Structure 1
Amino acid sequence: MRVLSTVPFTILRLLRDYISLILLLIVPLLLITVFSFIFGNTTTENGGLIIDEQAVILTLAFQLFGGAIVMSYIHYDLFSERKARMQVIPFNRSLYAFSLSLCGTAYSILLGTILIIYSDLVLGVHWGSWLWSVFVVALMALLSSIVCLIFMFSVNNIKVAERLSEVYGVGFIILAGLFFPMPDQPIFTFINDYVNPLSLSVAAIEQVRNGDIQGAWFPVSILFGAIVATFIIMYFLGRRRFH
């Protein structure tokens, strides 16, 4: 019950975290808006609108960085400035870390959902299914949180963990070909088809948008597998760090 009583305070902290709000909501919102004016009704080689493709990619790409929120809050409260104070309070630190993770992940999902609704209602971006898109965003947010916690539990220096989280996000964005096309090599094709969470999540939404619901479950199943595998790693690393 003591841990539950901290949830409203955590939510308030998240809402007042203007830097995260700018980076994870305002920046992608502005980019999607600008791209909508630039591309207009321009279509891709497959006949779809470029803005539809770019809006999906940008919304999901910024989810790669959402886990940094969870990482910073847990480190600040349990491993740095507030560590001594938290050790005195009679509640389970592991449960408190879990509540921070849930709140941070839910916050990332909320921001992603706002981007979906805005781009659809205001800019006319075709997502196919809001429910499915939010589901995919949730998977991305959850995976990002788990991966960032793995980084934090693996190293003692939070700055190193932060750089690793940036490499995770920027690296997969580059591999997905967002900055420039990747070489047509089997290794890059394999990574984007079976490893890159950004490419997998984009494929899942595009499959549903094109009416191939069964095909969309393949990339989603890989994301599920990645979440389970990374959660197991995070769990054991977290136990070692907390004890």
Structure 2
Amino acid sequence: MGSPARVTISYASAAEIEVSYPRWCALAGIGDTPLGGYGQELAQAQRRGLLASAIAPSGVRAISAAAGKGGLAGAVAARSLVLVAQRDREVIGGLYAGPEALVLHRLEPWGTAAQTRALVGLMKVGVLAVEPEFRGEGVGASLLRYAADRAAAGRVRLMYGSCTADTDVDRLCNDRGFRVLGPGESIDLSPVLGVPAQLDPANGERLVATTIGDGPPVGVSRGGSDSPPAPAGDAHHTAS
């Protein structure tokens, strides 16, 4: 008998994004959200050479160049990645992670310096999905590990996401070093952004977060900050 086929993790091509991203969002339960309709923009960014173009350490300077080509959306794409998991060339899962545009907009009162720190220092896992028949085999953990490694290389300091309150992600997240926050708990973004800001969970969701590289420990607080909050939005994890 031959050895079992290995799962490979790599950056997704534009064609793979177009075909598989809607499926991943459907599996994650967010197919009818704005994030669920983001696939075409991601595929276009890949074709234009913007996607993940500023993830490498030397590529941080490329953020301004990406913004020149595509504005804020181009800068976000340059700090984003889309990963695909394959076995025997069959796509069995995927991940999308990048800066959250809503957070960047909420930081406008603090100016471009705070927004740039968010672009570089924060990465949100917006979509993580594994085909049902391959769950429980470590595919999701491999996707998260690959994403965290790329984030560390790109000087990201905090990676986060969210899940519905009843989703069982504790084992997956704990194995990858993510802290699963309790209901109503928020993440203090001040150490990363240099301004008073926090990340609040959406109704019925919990946040998950992990320190990347030399980032500060995950600071947790209860919701209700007096400063304009940066809400978590619609990130979901699919158990794997």
Instruction: Identify whether the pair has TM-score above 0.5, normalized to the shorter chain.
Output: no
Q: Which has the higher helix share?
A: 1
Query: Which one has the bigger strand percentage?
Result: 2
Q: TM-score, normalised by structure 1?
A: 0.31
Instruction: Report the TM-score when normalising by structure 2.
Output: 0.32
